[in-house]
Amino acid sequence: MQILGIETTCDDTSVAVVQSGTSILGQDTASQEDIHAQYGGVYPEKAAQRHSQTLPEMVDQFFEKRQLSPQNIEAIAVSYGPGLIGSILTGLNCAKTLSVAWGLPFIGINHVEAHLYAAIMGRSSSDWRFPSLGLVISGGHTILLQINHLGEYQRLGSTQDDAIGEAFDKAAILLGLSYPGGAKIEKLAEQGDPYAYPFKSAHIKKAPLDFSFSGLKTAIFYAKQKESQLTDTVKKNLAASFQRAAFATILDKLQLALSQKTYKSLWIGGGVAANQYFRSLLEQKVNLPIFFPPRNLCQDNAAMIAGLGYHKLQENPKGDSLTLLASSRIPFL
Ligand code: KG4
Ligand code: ZN
């Protein structure tokens, strides 16, 4: 069964066709870095405009340039949130229009759940064991949850201020790097001393599985101010110390959650999951099967939307109502 997926919740326009929830038959993704880099973050109105300029042609050319036909598509899956409302609406309206024009079911997908699904998408369902622990770390989300089944989750903790990717992006700007800065911080950190600065994330007493990254961002700001010159060595050391502290707090929460209950595996998704330092850290410290998405499925992409759409369609073969609204925030759990 082939499903067309569409993703436009933030600043990536992406279209994919996935077979039976696992094999990607094709995917096109257009980044908007060229627009947003000059603002140091996503400019919501310009993001929506660019999606509406890019998406129709992307869908049209998607089939033209491949040996794929819209006639083999059996459903259309699209993110309906959370994210930027104008951006979501572009993809959602496109998906609804195609659903009516082609007479196919339409499926609304929670973007955060799809990030989690990306971790296990290419794997045989015999690898899926429950309960598992899930972590989504991206530019918009930092959420820790218990996965009882695909589609049934319990929230364990989330960020009380900035998402981890947002903290990486803000730290990057302080170091003179352009948006998005996560991968650039990782690169810089490779040659820095992770213990040059004693950065530490705040601990939240009342909610020990919650995260807070805003203090870390302030710490890097003051540490930078104290330096007489922002030399290459200082930048590398700040990046390495920031990265160490950000992932140390993630590891602490994971270890705390793992001490509270027995989990069969750990699923990790979201743009920040592409970080190799983090992957190595977890592989050394967590004694559990860990499922990471391949790098191309960490950042926002339509394949994870089409992949999860397949499972939603099994539960609900008629699909969702065309009255489904875009939602900037979705109570995920
Ligand atoms: O999942 P994603 O594409 O978008 C959201 O749903 O938010 O994640 C984008 C975020 C950005 O904040 C970016 O800086 C961060 O993921 N990111 C990284 C790395 N690659 C991307 N952060 C740390 N290390 C990386 N290698
Ligand atoms: Zn995302």
* Residues 11-39 pLDDT 10s: 999 999 999 999 999 999 999 999 999 99
| pLDDT score for 333 | 58
The values of phi and psi at residue 142, to 5°, are -140, 105
E strands, 59-111, in order: 73-81, 106-110
Query: Is pLDDT above 90 for 59?
Result: yes
Of 138, 298, 329, the one to substitute when testing ligand 1's pocket (max ligand atoms within 8 A of C-beta) is: 138
Q: Which residues pair with 12 in a beta bridge?
A: 31
Tens-place pLDDT, residues 97-126? 999 999 999 999 999 999 999 999 989 888
Instruction: Place 238 in a pLDDT band, splitting at 50, 70 and 90.
Output: very high
Q: Which atom of ligand 1 is nearest to the CA of 172?
A: 14
User: Across all residues in the chain, what is the average pLDDT?
Assistant: 96
| pLDDT score for 203 | 86
Query: Is pLDDT above 80 for 142?
Result: yes
Sheet holding 2-7, edge to edge: 23-31, 12-19, 2-7, 73-81, 106-110
DSSP state of 191: T
Q: What would the mean pLDDT of 128-153 be, rounded to a whole number?
A: 96
- Nearest 10 degrees: CA dihedral of 261, 262, 266, 267? -70
Residue 219: C-alpha distances to residues 135, 170, 179 (Å): 25, 12, 20
* Residue labelled with tokens 């994971």: 254
Three-state SS at 287: coil
Q: What percent of the chain has pLDDT over 70?
A: 99
Give the Å distance between the CA of 100 and the centre of ligand 1.
34
Give the Å distance between the CA of 245 and the centre of ligand 1.
17
Sequence-distant (6+) residues with CB within 8 A of 69 are 63
Query: Is pLDDT above 80 for 139?
Result: yes
CA nearest ligand 1 atom 10, residue:
139
Of 13, 32, 117, 168, the one to substitute when testing ligand 1's pocket (max ligand atoms within 8 A of C-beta) is: 168
Query: Is pLDDT above 90 for 65?
Result: yes
Sheet holding 142-149, edge to edge: 152-158, 142-149, 132-137, 266-269, 290-291
Token pair for 2: 């082939």
Give the Å distance between the CA of 122 and the centre of ligand 2.
18
Nearest ligand to the CA of 270 is 1
Q: Between β-strands 12-19 and 2-7, what pairing exists: parallel, antiparallel or unpaired? A: antiparallel
Token pair for 77: 């899956």
Residues with CB under 6 A from ligand 1: 10, 138-140, 165, 168-169, 180-183, 186, 270-272, 274-275, 299-300
Q: Between β-strands 132-137 and 266-269, what pairing exists: parallel, antiparallel or unpaired? A: parallel
Sequence letter at residue 304? M
| pLDDT score for 184 | 98
Q: What would the mean pLDDT of 190-205 be, rounded to a whole number?
A: 94
Q: Which atom of ligand 1 is nearest to the CA of 269?
A: 1
Of 272, 292, 297, the one to substitute when testing ligand 1's pocket (max ligand atoms within 8 A of C-beta) is: 272
**pTM assigned to the model:** 0.96
Q: CA nearest 300: which of 66, 123, 141?
A: 141
Q: How far apart are the first and last CA of the chain?
A: 28
Query: How far apart are the C-alpha atoms of 87 and 190, rounded to whole Å?
Result: 34
Three-state SS at 97: helix
Give the Å distance between the CA of 19 and the centre of ligand 2.
22
Give the Å distance between the CA of 164 and the centre of ligand 1.
8
Tens-place pLDDT, residues 168-184? 999 999 999 999 999 99
Instruction: Place 78 in a pLDDT band, splitting at 50, 70 and 90.
Output: very high
Residue 18: C-alpha distances to residues 85, 92, 106, 111, 309 (Å): 26, 18, 15, 16, 9
CA nearest ligand 1 atom 16, residue:
271
Q: CA nearest 13: which of 66, 61, 75, 70?
A: 61
Give the Å distance between the CA of 302 and the centre of ligand 2.
10
E strands, 20-128, in order: 23-31, 73-81, 106-110
